[in-house]
Amino acid sequence: MALIMVGGQTKNVGKTTLICNIIAAFPRVRWTAVKITNHLHAPQHCEMVETGDGWTIWKQNSTKDHSDTARFLTSGANRGLLVQSRESCLKEACASLQSELASAPTVIVESASAAEFLDPTLLLVLLDPAQSDFKQSARQQFERADAFIVRSANFEVIEQIDCTKKPVFAASPHHLDPALLSMLEAKVGSNA
């Protein structure tokens, strides 16, 4: 299984849009797209797959709402899953998620905090120089990241991060760097 993980420096940096663009760029790939969040609420148009103490896994059944998992399906994912977990329960939630993903050929996950439990094939961290906020979970993944994706018209790299040892790609809401697409093709191409 190829497991691509997308984290971001903060909320609302464009992780979901980036994932949707990646899914749409590889229409022959049978994607399972997963959103992991610590926001615990009853989602719409979902059925419960599994639940434990402090976590729940939901399957998105419809594209009728504007949730991130519905957006994944609209972009071409075969299956959309939502994992809601308290931070203290994330390890257990990820263990159950791995069982759920056992037969999935290609998985893309929106989360930086779950990287230590899911062992991604490729970890991408999305950065936006226009935002100064950094989630602690994202900071912890900078060393582990395989590449940085920078949302910027002038492709500025954020000063606090040493991006000299890893690939850095530009992305906008409507464009993916061809070099990023080549990197992804190398990871998921055989799973089409």
pTM: 0.91
Q: Sheet containing 175-176: which strands, arranged edge to edge?
A: 46-52, 55-60, 79-85, 31-37, 106-110, 2-8, 122-127, 147-151, 168-172, 175-176
**Residue 82 contacts by C-beta under 8 Å, 6 or more apart in sequence?**
34, 35, 37, 43, 46, 57, 58, 59, 60, 67, 68, 69
Query: What CATH number is given to the structural domain containing 38?
Result: 3.40.50.300
Q: Closest Cα to residue 25, out of 166, 162, 188? A: 188
Residue range(s) defining the domain that contains residue 148: 2-191
Q: Per-residue pLDDT tens for 107-160?
A: 999 997 898 899 999 999 998 877 777 777 677 788 889 999 988 655 555 666
Domain count along the chain: 1
DSSP H/E element including 168:
strand 168-172
